[in-house]
Amino acid sequence: MIQSTAAAIAALAMTASVQADSKIVIKGSDTLGAKLVPQLKEAYVQAGNKVDIEIQAQGSSHAFSNLLAGSADIGMSSRKVKDSETDKFNAAGKKLVEHVAAWDMIAVIVNDKNPVRKLTLKQIEGIFTGDITDWSQVGGKSGKISVYTRNTSSGTYKSFQKLGMSKRDYATHCQKMEGNQQIATEVSKNPLGIGYVGLAYSKGESYRAVKVDNVAASPSKVAKYPLARKLFYYTIGEPAGESAKFLDWATSSDKAAEVVGTVGFIPTSAAK
């Protein structure tokens, strides 16, 4: 009877362990988590992998806060981890490991009714810092520029500040949006609007991406485009179990690369 009870407890423990290992929690970047990772999840499960993948896309900063708290297995980030964030992990005795998810290009978008089709990097800096406030200053029709940006928890917000604004502060009149889709929606409604989005959101019915320094935001131009960047997954230490299997598939398989390209990003193999 005692042996039978012990065997039952062992079986339950093993079952609980298997159930725990068969779920992956992924949190962080909207750029990765709104479209790409959900479609990678779908393809991964369709390939016969029996795993439950939970995805929460609230901004890159959430990748690191959740990894540190132990509430995520994988963090998604559209920027590199900050030194201040790394310090917190080091203080907790945890080592972050970085995995390149894909390449992206931050597209600067304007309303379809706007005649401006190209901007220099310096003009973009001027618009988003507030030095330039009227479309007539950059070759457009007279009208006050409405500027849409991501919110401060977004990795894209910080990446754009670094790549497109010489690390200067955003203008106080910028309107902060939660995600790429929200920016695209506002620009599509506002003929005087401008914003930035990930490459996957760069084409719409009522808005278009402008050339930056005369280079279009297209995958074939990734080496020359001034606002190109890497996207990342982060883990605490080297991943293990289901997380390791998923990340290996997501970053190196032909099927995953196909999904990355279909969604609108650039596979790491194509960006080299």
Residues 112 and 213 in one domain: yes
Segment 243-271, tens digit of pLDDT: 999 999 999 999 999 999 999 899 988 76
The CATH number for 71's domain is: 3.40.190.10
Segment 8-55, tens digit of pLDDT: 444 444 333 333 458 999 999 999 999 999 999 999 999 999 999 999
Instruction: Say how far residue 74 (Cα) sits from the centre of its chain.
Output: 13
The structure tokens listed for 84 are 């201040």
Sheet (strand 193-197) strand order:
175-177, 146-150, 193-197, 107-111, 207-209
Residues 60 and 142 in one domain: no
Segment 14-25, tens digit of pLDDT: 333 333 458 999
How many folded domains does the chain comprise?
2
Nearest C-alpha neighbor of 115 from the set 192, 225, 198: 192
Residues 247 and 162 in one domain: no
Q: Would you say 198 and 266 are in contact if contact means Cβ atoms under 8 Å apart?
A: no
Range of the domain at 97: 2-103+230-271
Residues 113 and 201 in one domain: yes
Residues 33 and 77 in one domain: yes
Residues 41 and 84 in one domain: yes
* Predicted TM-score (pTM) of this structure: 0.80
Residues 112 and 210 in one domain: yes
Q: Is 131 left (phi over 0), alpha (psi -120 to 50) or beta?
A: alpha
Cα angle, residue 34 at apex, residues 36 and 65 outer, rounded to 5°: 105
Q: Would you say 142 and 192 are in contact if contact means Cβ atoms under 8 Å apart?
A: no
